[in-house]
Amino acid sequence: MAFVDPGWELYRSFLAVMREGSLSAAARALGMTQPSLGRHMRELETALGTALFARSPQGLVPTPLARELVPHAQAMASASAALQRTASAGRGEVSGTVRITASEVIGAEVLPPILAAFRERHPRIVIELVLSNASADLLRRDADIAVRMVQPTQEALVARRLGSVALGLFAHRRYLEAHGRPSLLAELADHSLIGFDTEMPYIRRMRADGLPYVRERFSLRTDSDLAALAAIRAGYGLGIMQVNLARRDPQLVHLLADELAIPLETWVVMHEDLRQSLRVRRLFEHVAEGLVNYLGGGPPST
């Protein structure tokens, strides 16, 4: 029997089932009926000649092969989205869709005014903003533009170093009035520290010598940088945040500034093939300019 290449819609349904864990939830996520989604799964299994899921009282259980297929199906999803973004551009005008990814803090706290200014200049460009502390794969076209806090190494990327984000230790005045202000790094152990739950490699690289900033000492552990910022602003305790962000709130106090200063390099990156895309290039240049302004302590947009 000749092999029938499964269509993208079958793999899209497969990814939804893997993500949602059930046919009914996947059907809702895709705006389909459950029978139609079930038919997609049967067609995909028939085309591949193997079962992808086992039924159990707990729902669908993916087979080992199904788990192996996920990264390949995700690559197809990224390619499909990139095709749609490319096709969205109108002729003779700066329009279409551009997907940009950044860390939680940069994406939620820094980029919005920069993107708002860009919107005023280019109202026909639609921006997809993805917040993630994981680096998007620009070679796979998971995004068109990325703001990264580490230097890219792939040769096929256009990368521009913008400067360094200054990180420091901060606390709300309300917390310091109740618990005192540390004058030495060693005194941090006596305070309520806000930090990570899972230590990532970049955290280990940027930890200052002698800083008792380890998971076992934290009074609040979270892998959400936005949650950590909210806790600092609420007076929960001491935490690390961007110096320029803290300057926006006069109630936040910079602690041990001479002993604890952490620079974090900032880059804006895109795939070299996108240099021919006017809308991507315009947003790339605008974001770079806005972030340089921010890193220098100036207004968030130009």
The C-alpha angle with vertex 156 and arms to 152 and 160, in degrees rounded to 5, equals: 45
The 3-state DSSP class for residue 120 equals helix
Kindly indicate whether the domain formed by 93-160+266-295 is annotated with CATH number 3.40.190.10: yes
- 233 phi, psi to nearest 5 deg: -65, -25
Phi, psi of 27 (to 5 degrees): -65, -40
Domain definitions of the chain by residue range: 8-86, 93-160+266-295, 164-264
Q: How far is residue 216 from each of residues 140, 184, 198, 221, measured CA to CA in Å?
A: 38, 19, 11, 9
Q: Is residue 164 within 8 Å of 265, Cβ to Cβ?
A: yes
Q: What distance in Å separates the CA atoms of residue 280 and residue 111, rounded to the nearest whole number?
A: 16
d(C-alpha 293, C-alpha 295), whole Å: 6
Q: Report which secondary-structure segment, H or E, holds 284.
A: helix 278-295
- Radius of gyration of the chain measured on its C-alpha atoms: 23
pLDDT of residue 173: 97
Cα(223)–Cα(211) distance, rounded to whole angstroms?
19
User: One-letter amino acid identity for 254?
Assistant: H
Which fold would CATH assign to domain 8-86?
Answer: Arc Repressor Mutant, subunit A (1.10.10)
Q: Span 164-264: which CATH code?
A: 3.40.190.10
Model's pTM, two decimal places?
0.68
Reading the chain (302 residues) residue by residue, the pLDDT tens digits are 444 577 778 888 888 888 888 888 888 888 888 888 888 888 888 888 888 888 776 667 888 888 888 888 877 777 776 666 666 655 545 788 899 999 999 999 999 999 999 999 999 999 999 998 876 665 566 788 999 888 887 777 888 999 999 999 999 999 999 999 999 888 998 999 999 888 766 566 556 666 667 788 899 999 999 999 999 999 999 999 999 999 999 999 999 998 888 888 899 998 887 878 888 889 999 999 999 999 986 544 43
Whether 8-86 and 164-264 share one fold: the answer is no
